Amino acid sequence: MKEIKAIIQPFLVTRVVEALKQIEGLPGLTVDRDIRGFGKTQADESRYKIVDDLVEYVPKAKLEIVVPDELAEKVIQTIQTHAHTGNPGDGKIFVVEVAEVIKIRTGERGEKAI
Ligand SMILES: Nc1ncnc2c1ncn2[C@@H]1O[C@H](COP(=O)(O)OP(=O)(O)OP(=O)(O)O)[C@@H](O)[C@H]1O
Ligand SMILES: [Mg+2]
């Protein structure tokens, strides 16, 4: 199981989520439209910056999607395609190995709990 964590431009969330919903077998996702951070090229995005305790941040959105291994590449490709503008600040996709999933309602574990 993999967790795909994507930091994307907030204005592209709906486009990306609509595309992800077309993937057959997508079990679910979590979205946070209101996060902030910075990457290597902060200056390019300075018109959007938020200054907090002397640190400059840029508003971003985060998607978290846990999928069986065989769906991971499809999810990554979909995000890469629909979150891409070609401008600095498009964001990043992090792929993390997931050790365990427990479904609270049933106590099921592993892939069947995703
Ligand atoms: N190494 C990192 N670890 C955690 N979060 C990161 C990392 N790099 C970027 N981010 C998050 O992703 C957001 C967007 O990063 P961004 O796309 O601007 O990266 P970049 O390295 O500056 O590339 P670009 O040149 O395309 O702007 C950041 O504001 C931050 O929230
Ligand atoms: Mg940047």
What's the gap in Å between 19 CA and the centre of ligand 2?
A: 24
The conformational region for residue 53 under phi > 0 = left, psi -120 to 50 = alpha, else beta, is left
How many beta carbons lie within 10 A of that of residue 32, not counting itself? 13
What is the per-residue pLDDT for 55? 84
* Helices 69-82 & 13-21 angle (0-180, nearest 10): 140
> pLDDT over 90 for what percent of the chain?
85
44 pLDDT band, cuts 50/70/90, is: low
**For the chain, what's the residue count?**
114
**CA dist., res. 76 & res. 94, Å (int):** 9
What is the per-residue pLDDT for 56? 87
Residue from 34, 38, 48 whose mutation best tests the ligand 1 pocket (most atoms within 8 A of CB): 38
**What does DSSP assign to residue 110?**
G
Lowest mean pLDDT among 51-55, 61-65, 96-100, 106-110: 51-55
What is the per-residue pLDDT for 43? 61
Residue type, position 73, single letter = E
What's the gap in Å between 94 CA and the centre of ligand 2?
A: 15
Q: What domain count does the chain have?
A: 1
Answer yes or no: is pLDDT of 41 > 80: yes
* Residues of the domain holding 35: 2-113
What is the per-residue pLDDT for 51? 83
Question: Which residue is closest in CA terms to ligand 1's atom 3?
Answer: 39
Q: CATH number for the domain including 28?
A: 3.30.70.120
Answer yes or no: is pLDDT of 80 > 80: yes
